[in-house]
Amino acid sequence: MDRLDAWRLFVRAAETGAISRAAREMGLGQPAASRLLAGLEAGLGARLFARSTRRLTLTEAGSLALDRARALLTESEGLEAAVRGLDRSPSGLLRLSASVAFGRAVLIPCASAFLAAYPLMRLDFVLRDDRVDPVAEGVDLTFRLGALEDSRLTARRLGHYERRLVASPDWLARSGAPETPQALADGATIDFTSLGFGRRWPLSDGRRTVEIEISGQTRASSGEAVLDLALQGLGVALLPAFLVDPLLADGRLVRLLPDWSGPPLDLHAVWSARELPRKARAFLEFINPRLTTGR
């Protein structure tokens, strides 16, 4: 039994006027209850009850302790209720990390609906194109695209995004549509330097894989910057579906060589704790069915 149990026994004994009755309510035998109260008094260095054969009365120290013990137990019960409530209905601050492009294209558009479903939650988006250390940054849940490197972290694969070849209608009108992947080698291309395979684009149609060495005039390390360059008509870009599909749908981009695509881009949810916190689990369960990934 812990210290709080000793105070609970003391309060009920004072309220009922009998240690035996308080002990029964707490499921204790008389000897165990007597030892618990004796231990409490020994720790305090003061007697709480003046015992007689007829009645149980509080000493001066006991009278002083009673109100404070009640306040202590009320606060403890409120804390336990609050913690249990957190587990049932997530609340508080949730820090989410992702690349700028993925955060803006996928996570932020879901924020309003998520907060409507969980009104006690607050969201903090840590959006950077470099790798964030979840432990150092205090991030609850990270969304990572591409290969995973940090074995300290727990990860769950959520799916993958296809990489599509796209260009603007203006570029297509000026240059014409390439008929083969090899035609890209001599045309205007935009180098996405964070792709991880340099200036050689590996493309596959599901049966064959070819590597095309690109030689365009522009390059950028951010997916959003590559997208902006493509929209300006500066060439062909190889970008993940989550970035380009809305623009393909409204005609601001055109897909080229639709049978060909780059290597799939894996998406993982990553966290540092052994168990995913309830508030992070709520967000992951909310957004997972909204992801337009291949599985």
The tens digit of pLDDT for each residue in 16-54 reads 888 888 888 788 888 888 889 889 889 889 999 887 666
CA distance 16 to 20: 9
Q: Which of 82-96, 184-198, 201-215 has the highest mean pLDDT?
A: 201-215
CA distance 77 to 70: 11
CATH 1.10.10.10 domain span(s) along the chain: 3-88
**CATH fold for domain 92-159+266-290:** D-Maltodextrin-Binding Protein; domain 2 (3.40.190)
The mean pLDDT of 69-79, rounded to a whole number, is 75
On the question of pLDDT at 189 being above 90, the answer is yes
* CATH code that applies to domain 3-88: 1.10.10.10
CATH 3.40.190.10 domain span(s) along the chain: 92-159+266-290
* CATH code that applies to domain 161-263: 3.40.190.290
Between residues 105 and 88, the one the model is more confident about = 105
Q: Are the C-beta atoms of residues 176 and 204 closer than 8 Å to each other?
A: no
The tens digit of pLDDT for each residue in 118-173 reads 999 999 999 998 888 887 788 899 999 988 876 678 899 999 999 999 999 999 99
The tens digit of pLDDT for each residue in 192-238 reads 988 777 789 999 999 999 999 998 889 998 899 999 999 999 999 99
